[in-house]
């Protein structure tokens, strides 16, 4: 299947997912409304609960299919130096109440965030990266610091993925690129981070990226695991293809190679009937 046909299927699948999300929200709201009714219709409640479960399961399958299609036709997510046009959105994500509660951080005024960004850009040991989908859509932000030139160590200070794009593998892909960037272009010997002991999802993400838990203790206001990867481990698990050369402030982008016709046809087969009927 040609690349342009693949992109058309991706767009159709996105629209199907959006419609299913709207229907899921409708039935979820019906269930919430029933909580405030003295004598709700049990038949309607049962129907709404069944539909909610059905659309939840269907969305999980469709989102997995979409993610695989995006990998085949669009390549990986892309890291790039954070620009001023990104700040309003990334500031909003980092100040999300649930995230601040998890990290036990205070609300940061937007101007403070802008001032920080200016400092990051002038500090050669600090690297702010925006995370883009292959389409160019902004989905996240991360900050990496080289913590010691003598030790040649890099630390992931922060990573956030846009709320509606979480649990789709974007964070894992971005982390893998960040690790490659640190060893390949920043020349570090160790890449590390701290993760809250209660943040199991993030811990699994970092574990999938081959980071190992080496310690546990207090980090700021949190009880955290210390995770790291050393150069010799990275060299043993790195992809066969080396990362192309690029400016120290930029990261590699997808190479644009065609995907396997067998794999794409196999992947698209279950979707053809679904899409043709919508």
Q: What is the CATH number of the domain that holds 160?
A: 3.40.630.30
Establish if 255 belongs to a structural domain: no
Lowest mean pLDDT among 23-27, 73-77, 79-83, 124-128: 73-77
pLDDT of res. 267: 44
The pLDDT assigned to 242 comes to 42
Q: Is 260 contained in some domain? A: no
- Model pLDDT, residue 246: 37
Higher pLDDT, 60 or 238: 60
**What is the structure's pLDDT at 74?**
61
90 and 69 within one domain: no
Q: How far is CA 141 from CA 42, 52, 127, 172, 196, in A?
A: 45, 32, 11, 13, 18
- Higher per-residue pLDDT: 5 or 92: 92
- The parent domain of residue 35 ranges over 3-75
Predicted confidence band at 3 (pLDDT cuts at 50, 70, 90)? low
pLDDT the model gives residue 134: 79
Phi (first) and psi of residue 218, to 5 degrees: -80, 135
142-146, 176-180, 272-276: least confidently modelled range: 272-276
Is 273 part of a structural domain of the chain?
no
End-to-end CA distance of the chain: 20
- Rg (Cα) of the chain, in Å, rounded? 22
Q: Which of 50, 75, 100 is the last residue of a domain?
A: 75
Task: Using alpha carbons, select from 172, 70, 80 the residue that is nearest to residue 127.
Answer: 80
Out of 18, 42, 75, pick the residue that ends a domain: 75
Domain identity same for 48 and 86: no
pLDDT-wise least confident of 146-155, 188-197, 228-237, 266-275: 266-275
CA distance 51 to 146: 50
**Rounded Cα gap, residues 172 and 176, in angstroms:** 6
Domain shared by 98 and 225, yes or no: yes
Looking up tokens 């995770």, which residue turns up? 227
pLDDT tops 70 at residue 120: yes
Please report the pLDDT score of residue 75 as a whole number: 63
Q: Which of 75, 97, 116 is the last residue of a domain?
A: 75
Domain assignment present for residue 127? The answer is yes
The pLDDT tens digits for 199-237 are 888 999 999 899 999 999 998 888 999 999 999 999 987
Q: Count the Cβ atoms, other than its own, within 10 Å of residue 56.
A: 13
Q: For residue 277, tell me if it sits in a domain.
A: no
- Total structural domains in the chain? 2
Assess if residue 131 is contained within a domain.
yes
* 75: DSSP letter: -
What is the distance between the alpha carbons of residues 159 and 193, in angstroms, rounded to a whole number?
A: 10
Residues 85 and 204 in one domain: yes
For residue 113, CA distances in Å to 85, 93, 96, 122 come to 13, 12, 14, 15
For the stretch 31-77, pLDDT in tens is: 989 888 888 899 999 999 999 999 999 988 887 887 777 767 666 78
- Residue 100 and residue 7 share a domain: no
d(CA 56, CA 206): 26
């Amino acid at each position: 299947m040609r690349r342009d046909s693949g992109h058309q299927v991706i767009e159709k699948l996105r629209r199907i997912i959006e419609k299913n999300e709207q229907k899921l929200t409708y039935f979820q709201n019906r269930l919430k409304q029933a909580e405030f009714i003295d004598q709700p219709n049990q038949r309607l409640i049962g129907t709404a609960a069944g539909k909610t479960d059905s659309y939840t399961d269907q969305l999980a399958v469709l989102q997995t299919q979409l993610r695989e299609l995006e990998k085949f036709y669009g390549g990986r997510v892309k890291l790039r130096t954070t620009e001023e046009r990104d700040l309003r959105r990334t500031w909003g994500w980092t100040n999300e109440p649930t995230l601040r509660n998890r990290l036990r951080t205070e609300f940061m005024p937007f101007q403070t965030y802008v001032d920080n960004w200016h400092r990051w850009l002038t500090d050669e040991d600090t690297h702010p990266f925006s995370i883009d989908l292959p389409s160019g859509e902004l989905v996240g932000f991360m900050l990496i610091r080289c913590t010691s030139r003598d030790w040649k160590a890099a630390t992931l200070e922060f990573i956030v993925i846009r709320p509606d794009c979480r649990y789709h593998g974007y964070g894992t892909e971005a982390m893998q690129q960040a690790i490659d960037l640190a060893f390949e272009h920043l020349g570090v010997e160790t890449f590390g981070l701290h993760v809250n002991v209660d943040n199991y999802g993030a811990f699994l993400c970092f574990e999938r990226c081959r980071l190992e838990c080496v310690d546990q203790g207090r980090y700021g206001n949190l009880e955290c695991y210390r995770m790291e990867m050393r150069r010799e481990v990275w060299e043993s698990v790195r992809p066969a293809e080396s990362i192309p050369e690029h400016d120290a402030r930029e990261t590699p982008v997808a190479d644009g190679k065609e995907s396997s016709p067998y794999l794409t046809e196999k992947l698209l087969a279950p979707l053809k009937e679904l899409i043709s009927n919508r």
